[in-house]
Amino acid sequence: MFRDTYTFTPSTLRSLRSRRDPEDERRALYRFPRNRQTTAVNQTVFRESRTRPLLSNDANVQDALCSGDLDKIRSIFNSKDSVNVVIETVSHELSWSAELGLWSLISKPKQTSALHITAERGHTACVEHLLGHGADVNVAPGGATALHAACANGHVGCVQLLLRIGANPNAISEEGYSPLHLCTSPQTLQCAKLLLEHGARVNLQTKDRENTPLHIAAKHGLDEHVELYLSYCAYSHKKNREGETALNAACSYAEKPEDFGKYYRVCKMLVDSGADVKTAGKKNHTPLHNACGNGHPGIVDLLLLHGASVNAKNCAGYTPMDCILQAVEDHLEHHPEQIVIALLNHGAAPVDPKILKQCAMSPWTMEALLNTYESIPLCDSWIEAVPLDVWQEHQIFFDSIIRLTNKPRSLQHLARCTLRNYFGTRCHSVIPQLQLPNSFTEFLLLKFEGYIK
């Protein structure tokens, strides 16, 4: 026996025969006889460039590809040369002209492929035809492959075909993205699963901002994607170029109340997987700064429960308390006082009375803050900011403020201040364990009462 030959067991041979390489898969897709002579149609729509491959800017060809007209595509693209033609298109984009001082519409030539156009639009039968006739599955004349296009638009059938024929799941586009980075909507979940099953790197970072797929999924509030990536060992502690983790991204983009639920689930999974709640990213914003600025009480509670720094300052010197107070008027319907009380019960420092005017629209928030002072400070600087309708609706509360300005507070309140100062950052955990009547426990934890005493 020669030194470079090896014996195989029958089971090994069967296993090898059962594995079909991409060319076998491509041949399996081929259904129509090859025509080695370019048809008349091909001769009119394709032209040879100086440096190959064939080029086409024929509008009829582009229309057939965009609409998924399979009959026309079969008649036009019937050889390996024709299916790999570079399609020349023109896109119209707005561009700012400094010279004219206005926006103008400019035409920009772009290059793409027949496979890219059909995959982008989800024309599975057309993709199958092109692949069966030898289309280059990884070609990217416009900077991105057909797999990028199919994944970005959630076309699962096209993604399956492309991967089966050998599309590179880790191909990097001209803009620095892999196909997994482009799975940015709920409809792309199955595409993400297929990519990972075919070897996509779950911790691959984009070229520009160094975001991982986990960063991008967290940014878009894609809880199922986040769960999937974590099951494939995505790094929840991985930082992008700005020093942000996926948790920073989720807290930063949890802006719309209707999306609060999915962003909370994303943050919960990330925290449970070991994400650091204290990581400061862009402008030294921690996840708590972002959650407070977006008025998300659920995420704020979650972060505080896991040790977020309640008095951390960003590069502008703002604490999480400053962030919520600056956004009170934007979140009136979602009880910003809950966030303020949570921060105070975790040891947030008392605020400067000068910024009480930021709470003019939220008497509940104002009450929580005033109950951290041993006496009511002068209110001339902020009481005038209260709108008349708010004053009339909560007149008992505002009258109590006026009555107690610069006067001693009740002994009960002074006792509360003493206990809270003593417990400090442990108020939220210690006070409920004191075995006090519920009403007094709630009083110590700054529950809203509607008046100052």
Reported confidence tier of residue 22, pLDDT bands at 50, 70, 90 = low
Secondary structure of the chain as H, E, C letters: CCCCCCCCCHHHHHHHHHCCCHHHHHHHHCCCCCCCCCCHHHHHHCEECCCCCEEECCHHHHHHHHHCCHHHHHHHCCCHHHHCCEEEEEEEEEEEECCCCEEEEEEEEEEEEHHHHHHHHCCHHHHHHHHHCCCCCCCCCCCCCHHHHHHHCCCHHHHHHHHHCCCCCCCCCCCCCCHHHHCCCHHHHHHHHHHHHCCCCCCCCCCCCCCCHHHHHHHCCCHHHHHHHHHCCCCCCCCCCCCCCHHHHHHHHCCCHHHHHHHHHHHHHHHHCCCCCCCCCHHHCCHHHHHHHCCCHHHHHHHHHCCCCCCCCCCCCCCHHHHHHHCHHHHHHHCHHHHHHHHHHCCCCCCCHHHHHHHCCCHHHHHHHHCCCCEECCCCCCHHHCCHHHHHHCHHHHHHHHHHECCECCHHHHHHHHHHHHHHHHHHHHHHHCCCCHHHHHHHCCCCCCCCC
Residue 16 has pLDDT above 70, yes or no: no
Let me know if residue 441 belongs to a domain. no
How many residues are given for the chain? 453
Angle between helices 156-164 and 114-121 (to 10 degrees): 140
Within-domain flag for 289: no
Cα torsion through 215, 220, 225, 227, rounded to 10: 70
Please report whether residue 122 resides in a domain.
Answer: yes
The answer to whether residue 61 is domain-embedded is yes
Range of the domain at 159: 20-168
pLDDT tops 50 at residue 299? yes
Neighbours of 395 (CB within 10 A): 10
pLDDT at 392 over 90: yes
Residue range 393-437, pLDDT digits in tens: 999 999 999 898 888 899 999 999 999 999 999 999 999 999 999
**Whole-number pLDDT of residue 286:** 97
Number of domains in the chain: 1
Phi first, then psi: give them for residue 95, nearest 5 degrees. -135, 140
Q: Does residue 7 belong to any structural domain of this protein? A: no
* pLDDT the model gives residue 84: 92
Q: How confident is the model at residue 30 (pLDDT cuts 50, 70, 90)?
A: low
Beta partners for 375? Answer: 408
Q: What is the mean pLDDT of residues 318-331?
A: 94
In a domain, 156, yes or no: yes
Report whether pLDDT(158) > 70.
yes
pLDDT computed for residue 23 by the predictor: 64
Sole residue written with tokens 């079969």: 74
The residue-averaged pLDDT of 311-334 equals: 93
Q: How many CB atoms lie within 10 A of CB 40?
A: 9
**180-225 residue pLDDT tens:** 999 999 999 999 999 999 999 999 999 999 999 999 999 999 999 9
Instruction: Tell me, yes or no, whether 377 lies in a domain.
Output: no
Centroid of chain to Cα 67: 31
Q: To the nearest whole percent, how much of the chain has pLDDT over 70?
A: 87
Rounded-to-integer distance, Cα 396 and Cα 378, Å: 18
Query: pLDDT tier at 28 (50, 70, 90 boundaries)?
Result: low
For residue 38, pLDDT over 90 is answered with: no
pLDDT category at 24 given cuts 50, 70, 90 is low
Measured CA distances, 370 to 18, 69, 70, 336, 411 (Å): 75, 70, 72, 15, 15
Average pLDDT for residues 137-151, to the nearest whole number? 96
pLDDT of residue 55: 62
Cα 181 to chain centroid distance, Å, stands at: 11
CATH at 121: 1.25.40.20
**Confidence category of residue 124, pLDDT binned at 50, 70, 90:** very high
Which token pair is 99? 């010279």
60: which residues sit within 8 A by CB, 6+ positions away? Answer: 45, 72
Query: 379 vs 170, which has greater pLDDT?
Result: 170
Is the predicted pLDDT of residue 377 greater than 90, yes or no?
no
Banded pLDDT at 18 (limits 50, 70, 90): very low
Higher pLDDT, 355 or 21: 355
Q: Please tell me the least confidently modeled range out of 94-98, 268-272, 334-338, 408-412.
A: 94-98
- pLDDT over 60 at 148, yes or no: yes
The sign one gets for the Cα dihedral 411, 413, 414, 415 is positive
Give the chain's mean pLDDT: 87
In the numeric block, which tokens belong to residue 155? 């076309």
**How crowded is residue 294: how many other Cβ atoms within 10 Å of its Cβ?**
25
Task: Give me the mean pLDDT over the 260-287 stretch.
Answer: 95
**Residues 20, 29: Cα–Cα separation, whole Å:** 13
Instruction: State pTM to two decimals.
Output: 0.85
Q: Is residue 200 a part of any domain in this protein?
A: no
Q: Given a cut of 50, is residue 17 above it in pLDDT? A: no
